[in-house]
Amino acid sequence: MNIGLIIIGDEILSGKRQDKHLAKVIELLGARGLSLSWAKYLGDDRDQLTRELRSAFASGDLVFSCGGIGATPDDHTRQAAAAALDRPLALHPQAAEFIWQRVQQMAAEQGTTPDRDHPDTQRRMEMGVFPEGARIIPNPYNKIPGFSVGSVYFVPGFPVMAHPMIEWVLDEQYAALHRQVSTRERSMIVQGAMEASLTPLMERVEADFPGIKVFSLPSVDHPQWGRHIELGVKPAGAEVSSDRFESAYAALREGVVQFGAVISTEMVR
């Protein structure tokens, strides 16, 4: 199952706020032996969101969408999700109860009396209006829930809320996907060779060791190694035995040595 991430917000694209989701989601997945397949940054544009979410729903991927589920005029994710699904929006009963609990909690903290009919309460209830048939994602931070439809999960843009909610989804809904965490990459710093010259070696290793992906990360101005290539292997999604993994790396390393390039250091992640 591919895993995708959608990060929504004009403030991210404009640089007013720095994204804190991508690195954290990669970390959360890695702790469970999983990896991110793709990621997208989108602005607060309802038409574009609708197109992208329609594609996400159709993909069958496990997708996390961060941001835009509030009730202010610049929040469009809930509406775009409904449009992408061709479903009406409706107040989710469980979401309404969670929001009312939050309103009561806030009133107790402020020493006031909670009122279900107050305009502020009604505006807060808008945050529980989801596409018909949606399921709830609990929010341990302030009770205002996220929602999901199929394998697409919508959480707030605030990292303090979003990240525990994503962990809940991974552990409560997708525990069967978890794998034992093991070596994910082995690589070497190669100097004295060009990517084009090493490409036949990379292709040969991938052909000889199904399930292995060879990666190449060139650099021209590294402060320690200068011009170099980080060359390595990692699993290509499926389970790969440790013997196959180590044999693939050994074959790649031997090919580099035979080519006559210099291996400055080796790394395991």
- Over residues 97-139, the pLDDT tens digits come to 999 999 999 999 999 999 999 999 999 999 999 999 999 999 9
CB 242 within 8 A of CB 180: no
More confident residue, 103 or 181: 103
Q: CATH 3.30.70.600: which residues of the chain? A: 186-268
Q: Which band of pLDDT confidence, cut at 50, 70 and 90, is reported for residue 51?
A: very high
92: pLDDT strictly greater than 90 = yes
* pTM (2 d.p.): 0.81
| Other Cβ atoms closer than 10 A to 164 | 16
All residues at 6 or more sequence positions from 115 whose CB lies less than 8 Å from its CB, including other chains: 121
Q: CATH 3.40.980.10: which residues of the chain? A: 3-177
All residues at 6 or more sequence positions from 10 whose CB lies less than 8 Å from its CB, including other chains: 43, 44, 74
Judge residue 22's burial from the number of C-beta atoms within 10 Å of its C-beta, 0-12 exposed, 13-18 middle, 19 or more buried.
Answer: middle
At 198-242, the pLDDT tens digits run 999 999 999 999 989 999 999 998 888 899 999 999 888 656 778
Rounded mean pLDDT of 72-78? 95
Tokens 């961060």, located at residue? 66
Fold (CATH) for 3-177: Molybdenum Cofactor Biosythetic Enzyme; Chain A (3.40.980)
Domain 186-268 has CATH 3.40.50.300: no
Q: Give residue 236's pLDDT.
A: 81
In percent, the amount of the chain with pLDDT more than 90 equals: 86
